Structure 1
């Protein structure tokens, strides 16, 4: 019986190895089928990134209010992130590079703690200052001409868990938005 199994194994191995050879010519393409009925269009999920510049003062109660225009559709389930232009540096070629920080951001000042914070609805964003001291004592560098980047992320993108929302470049990359596509708005 052992000889039989050995001979059978040798034939099977020889048979499997002998099935190789040069590949034959490709076959002919089949006929194209009929077109089907088009399906309904899906929802186009897009994000948006907007830069706004404004000044905090007593007349606006140290808040900058931005209402989304009709051209920006924000759904209740979308996530709105706000970044503060914290500083600028230069790259190896001497070109400016923006440094963005995700809000809320807290600064420790001589007067006490200052926090840049925000809230939003699907209609607007309100960026405001909070502190444990009188805001009228702030220096112009903390209040005047502050630049914020608002990123509107579809719920699906924000909830994937793979997106680093603390990094604006990562967010813009996920949305497929380049720097030259960012709308810039100066508020009065």
Structure 2
């Protein structure tokens, strides 16, 4: 028991010690993502799709991530946003979804489903509010070519 208490006391003493503070690091980049909202119709008139141009005031690079959300309503004064793609099921076995694709200068929102989307109520197709979030990002650079990676990688075969 004495040995156990001595070990515990030693661990507490050793882990609570501090050394000198290291050098200050470089200042970080202070970048926030950009957000904008659009109100669009996704109905038979536009073939259930709509292209939205990213505002010129928002600088988007090819490496940036684009996220999109559909407004679902509010609860206790807070907006409810559902990330895309978002799938819904009707009472007749049908499935439809809101989704999008993008470049670094525009997005295309569209409805897709396994039935005639023209039977959807206007509450599902008209005046749909989407929030677009542009998240700054950079392509990863490991500083080596793919060939160098293949030569240096160590794989272990697991299986029969």
For 1:69 and 1:118, the matched residues in 2 are separated by: 17
Q: Summarize deviations over 1:45-86 as a string: whole Å, max 9, x none.
A: 442100111111112111121111221111000000000111
Name 1:3's counterpart in structure 2. none
Mapped pair 1:73 → 2:55: no
* Unaligned 5+ runs, structure 1: 1-41, 91-95, 160-188
User: Secondary structure of 1:81's partner?
Assistant: strand
* Unaligned 5+ runs, structure 2: 1-27, 141-160
Of the two, which has the highest radius of gyration? 1
For 1:63 and 1:103, the matched residues in 2 are separated by: 14
For 2:64 and 2:101, the matched residues in 1 are separated by: 13
Name 2:34's counterpart in structure 1. 48
For 1:65 and 1:46, the matched residues in 2 are separated by: 25
Mapped pair 1:63 → 2:36: no
- Out of 97, 101, 104, the position equivalent to 2:85 is 104
Give the structure-1-normalised TM-score. 0.55
- Out of 78, 84, 89, the position equivalent to 2:70 is 84
For 2:103 and 2:36, the matched residues in 1 are separated by: 16
Give the structure-2-normalised TM-score. 0.64
Mapped pair 1:114 → 2:96: yes
Name 1:173's counterpart in structure 2. none
User: Secondary structure of 1:69's partner?
Assistant: coil
For 1:121 and 1:44, the matched residues in 2 are separated by: 24
User: Secondary structure of 1:87's partner?
Assistant: strand
Aligned residue-pair number: 111
For 2:67 and 2:29, the matched residues in 1 are separated by: 22
Deviation at 1:143, TM superposition (A): 0.6
